[in-house]
Amino acid sequence: MAASTFSFFKQHRAYGTLFIRFAIGVFIIYGVQDNVFNWERMLEFRDFLETRGVPFPLLAAHVSVYVQFICGLLLLLGLAVRWVGILLIINFTAAILIAHIGQSFQQYYPAAQLIAVGFYFLFNGAGPVSIDAYLNRKRAQSIDRTLQVNA
């Protein structure tokens, strides 16, 4: 019974990535949209980074915020998702080192979770419902046509 109960989900397991992409994409965009659309909030983030001794705090604030915002958009589209994984790993490792050292588990866990999700995307890619998958199919078709012409 258990085998048949979950057989649909096992057969379509690759689609699970779509739900993770959407959840993380929305979470990241929501988390930085105030900095993107409100200059005062960006300056608050700059000031926070400055108190933590981050060099070029305004530049660092912009890089962190826009990397996150763009990564969120790319996740929603399913585009360049393995690269998004790398950027999430780098950005949220820096976040833990800059902002979360000495904090409680509950305080640093979201950043640690995003590092883990970054590794998931790095290893698994975007899944079948994505622009990445579409581009890979088109690339494979192009290679097949090229091989047939050259054969």
Which residue range forms the structural domain that includes residue 57?
16-150
| Residue 5 covered by a domain | no
| Residue 143 covered by a domain | yes
pLDDT tens-place string over residues 2-57: 668 899 998 888 889 999 999 999 999 999 999 999 999 999 999 999 999 999 99
Q: Which residue has the tokens 């589209």?
A: 77
pLDDT tens-place string over residues 87-142: 999 999 999 999 999 999 999 999 999 999 999 999 999 999 999 999 999 988 88
| Residue 8 covered by a domain | no
In this prediction, residues 66-84 reach a mean pLDDT of 98
| Residue 9 covered by a domain | no
pTM: 0.88
| Residue 6 covered by a domain | no
Number of separate domains in the chain = 1
Q: In this structure, what are the phi and psi dihedrals at residue 34, rounded to the nearest 5 degrees? A: -65, -35
**pLDDT at 134 (0 to 100):** 95
**Quick check: 148 pLDDT over 90?**
no
Angle at 127 between CA 82 and CA 81, to 5 degrees: 20
Query: What are the start-end ranges of the H helices in the chain?
Result: 2-5, 7-11, 16-37, 39-51, 57-77, 81-95, 105-124, 131-150
Q: In this structure, what are the phi and psi dihedrals at residue 129, rounded to the nearest 5 degrees? A: -100, 85
| Residue 50 covered by a domain | yes
